[in-house]
Structure 1
């Protein structure tokens, strides 16, 4: 259960920013025994993987704050974020064995990988679809603000997923409620624009 919660939390964070949860897993695995990576994923904690992820994180953080460029960045993220979500979920399979005394994720790492892809893909789709509407509806002002909130959420979710996995359920519910609220706001903005266009 803990491994699944950790994986779900990290995958959700990857849907917002792929590199934050990846770096969290890499650094925690490299400098502690809290996460012990499966042999097939030990490359995550290598210096080159950490360095590349740090560079990509800085690039992503900057590009995601620029209206219009952020949508192109999201298009690239369509492949990257779900993939990283699958990787970080699969990376928690060792936690399953250590904490839960269960071998489900250890024996079937593909279960975690698929779950991670689905969770990260859902979060990414919501993020990517809402950003253009937010940019248009706020004349470009809302995008950078939303991006900062997404980065902060990805950091908080990654920390919670690794260190307090039981809280992941609460954070996922909050994220779901926030997503529904955001979609409702976007729908209202679109209706207002259509009504204004025909007035």
Structure 2
């Protein structure tokens, strides 16, 4: 159960930024005893994986804060974030310190599927909201939203590993935040459409 909560939290974090939970898991597994990854996932804590993840994270941090470019980046990340969510879920759910469940270790595919689903849902909410945020703030909201997402991803990752019982609370709060953001985006789109209907000369292309 503990491992599943950890996996869910890390998967949700990957939906916001694929490389933050990956690097946190990799660094903790390599330099601490908090996580001991099974042999099949030991490559995650290798130097080449950490170096590659660091480069990708730096690239993501920059691109995700540039209006319009962030939307393209989200499109590319549609495949990466859910995959990373599945990876970190499977890796941590099989870690000995988190859970002694032989079933979870022998059925890693369950973690992969759950991780993909959780990460995919969070990514979908993020990707859907960002274009409206950019349009509504003339691009000024992109770096702010991206920074908040990165901070949330870090917080979720740490909570998932060190305080897994709080993951459910964190995920509920994240779901509420995404729902409220979705409502605001929807309301903004309706207002924009009404203005366009009232004044045909206005273009929002």
Residue of structure 1 equivalent to 2:56 = 56
Superposed displacement of residue 39, structure 1: 1.2
Structure 2, unmatched stretches of 5+, are 199-205
Deviations 1:135-167 (A, max 9, x none): 011111112111000000000001111111111
- Following superposition, the deviation at residue 94 of structure 1 comes to 2.7
Find the counterpart in structure 2 of residue 180 from structure 1: 179
Q: Give the secondary-structure state (helix, strand or coil) at the position aligned to 1:140.
A: coil
Cα contact 1:6–1:168 (8 A) shared by 2: yes
Q: 1:123 Cα deviation (Å)?
A: 0.5
Q: Which residue of 2 aligns with 1:156?
A: 155
Deviations 1:89-139 (A, max 9, x none): 0011333x5444322210100000110011001101111111001101111
**Equivalent runs, 1:102-117 vs 2, <5 Å:** 102-117=101-116
* Worse-matched range after superposition: 30-39 or 20-29: 30-39
Which residue pairs with 1:197 in the alignment? Answer: 196
Aligned to 2:203: none
Check whether the contact 1:35–1:94 (CA below 8 A) recurs between aligned residues: no
Q: Post-superposition shift, 1:4?
A: 0.3
The residue aligned with 1:124 is: 123
Q: Does 1:45 align with 2:45?
A: yes
Point out the more displaced range, 36-45 or 63-72.
Answer: 36-45
User: What TM-score does the superposition give when structure 2 sets the normalisation length?
Assistant: 0.94
Could you tell me how far apart the structure 2 residues matched to 1:131 and 1:73 are?
11
Which protein has the larger Cα radius of gyration, Structure 1 or Structure 2?
2
**Runs of 4+ with >6 A deviation:** none
Instruction: Specify the alignment match of 2:170 in structure 1.
Output: 171
Secondary structure of 2:111 counterpart: helix
Unaligned stretches of 5+ in structure 1?
A: none
Maintained 8 Å contact 2:34/2:97: no
Alpha-carbon distance, 1:26 to partner = 0.3
